[in-house]
């Protein structure tokens, strides 16, 4: 029961259905989740230990605001982990894994909205999963699963646009290095995935949406904005 309540609350928080800072009342959650007090409290405490809710004095609970600095430090920790994972796992990748990575690269090339595509990929755990799965170190699986929700929530809430060319280049380097067995090339390229793609996303999750992501130059932003618009498909639909 606790697990069910936990998963339902987790999904609602990560997707933004329950907003950052929103007050949670035990009674409402019990009704919403159809569970009694104890499993609800246990689920909330579990969420609190992963930093997604804050349990305040006098039985008040709220969805934790997105702490950009904290999520950035999580992203860097995962970056550290994945540099090592990729370096070690490249010699172990199967033809099926390489095929899966290539498929991801191709899907991205076809995507009309690059930002939305990466956001979805992060939400569904595509791409990076290939590496941790093949290495089969469960401790690493657990460490990255535990921290994924905070990162996902921030990226989901982010208004950052993304430069298609950067992603294309990074994905291409990852895939080709993996295919040719160049472990250190693949590890460097994964580092770029974290620094040049995921990090700007998280930086753009600042609750104050009037502030554009600082690291983007105006020219890049325009270009990205243009790419984000599904203009082509709309025009086609009208004709």
Partner 1 sequence: MPLPTLSSKPVERRLLRDVVYERLYQAIIDGTLEPGEVLLDDTLTSWLGVSRTPIREALMRLSEIGLVEFSPNRYTRVAPIDLRAIDEAVYTTGLLNEYAARTAVADLTDEQISRLREFSSQAVKLGETDDVPGLANALHDFFLEFELATHNKALVAAIESLNPQLLRYVSAWQLPVEPRVIAASVEQIAEAVATRDGERVADLIRALYAPAKALFLSEYRRSDAEIDSEAREDESA
- Interface with partner 1 (CB under 8 A): 41-42, 45-46, 49, 57-59, 70, 73-74, 76-77, 79-81, 83-85, 88, 94, 96, 133-140, 142-143, 146-147
Kindly state the DSSP code that residue 127 receives in the 8-state scheme. Answer: S
Q: List Cα–Cα distances, 33 to 16, 20, 55, 159, in angstroms.
A: 17, 19, 18, 30
Nearest to residue 177, comparing CAs of 166, 193, 188, 191? 188
Q: How far apart are the first and last CA of the chain?
A: 52
Give the shortest CB-158-to-partner 1 separation in angstroms: 18
Pick between residue 72 and residue 166 the one whose CB is nearest to partner 1.
Answer: 72
Pick between residue 45 and residue 159 the one whose CB is nearest to partner 1.
Answer: 45
Pick between residue 80 and residue 231 the one whose CB is nearest to partner 1.
Answer: 80
Give the shortest CB-63-to-partner 1 separation in angstroms: 19
Pick between residue 94 and residue 233 the one whose CB is nearest to partner 1.
Answer: 94
Kindly state the DSSP code that residue 150 receives in the 8-state scheme. Answer: H
Tell me the DSSP string of 9-64. Answer: HHHHHHHTSSPTT-EE-HHHHHHHHT--HHHHHHHHHHHHHTTSEEEETTTEEEEP
Give the shortest CB-44-to-partner 1 separation in angstroms: 10
Give the shortest CB-96-to-partner 1 separation in angstroms: 7
What the block records as the tokens of 62 is 């709220």
Give the shortest CB-210-to-partner 1 separation in angstroms: 28
* In 66-132, beta strands by DSSP E: none
Give the whole-angstrom CA distance, residue 183 versus residue 143: 22
Pick between residue 2 and residue 112 the one whose CB is nearest to partner 1.
Answer: 2
53-56/60-63 β-pairing: antiparallel
Any idea what the Cα angle at residue 189 is, between residues 186 and 193, rounded to 5°?
130
Pick between residue 44 and residue 175 the one whose CB is nearest to partner 1.
Answer: 44
Give the shortest CB-236-to-partner 1 separation in angstroms: 33
């Amino acid at each position: 029961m606790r697990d069910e309540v936990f998963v339902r609350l987790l999904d609602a928080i990560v997707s933004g259905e329950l907003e950052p800072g929103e007050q949670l009342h035990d009674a409402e959650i019990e009704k919403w989740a159809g569970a009694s007090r104890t499993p609800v409290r246990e689920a909330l405490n579990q969420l609190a230990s992963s930093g997604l809710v804050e349990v305040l004095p006098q039985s008040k609970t709220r969805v934790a605001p997105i702490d950009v600095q904290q999520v950035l430090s999580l992203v860097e920790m995962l970056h550290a982990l994945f540099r090592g994972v990729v370096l070690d796992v490249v010699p172990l990748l199967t033809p099926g894994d390489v095929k899966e990575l290539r498929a991801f690269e191709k899907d991205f090339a076809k995507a009309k909205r690059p930002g939305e595509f990466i956001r979805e990929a992060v939400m569904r755990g595509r791409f990076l999963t290939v590496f941790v799965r093949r290495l089969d170190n469960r401790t690493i699986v657990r460490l990255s699963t535990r921290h994924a929700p905070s990162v996902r929530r921030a990226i989901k809430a982010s208004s950052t646009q993304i430069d298609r060319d950067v992603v294309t280049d990074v994905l291409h380097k990852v895939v080709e290095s993996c295919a040719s067995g160049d472990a250190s090339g693949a590890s460097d390229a994964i580092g770029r995935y974290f620094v040049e793609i995921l990090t700007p996303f998280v930086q753009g999750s600042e609750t104050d949406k009037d502030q554009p992501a600082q690291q983007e130059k105006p020219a890049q932003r325009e270009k990205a904005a243009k790419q984000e618009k599904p203009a082509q498909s709309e025009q086609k639909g009208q004709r």
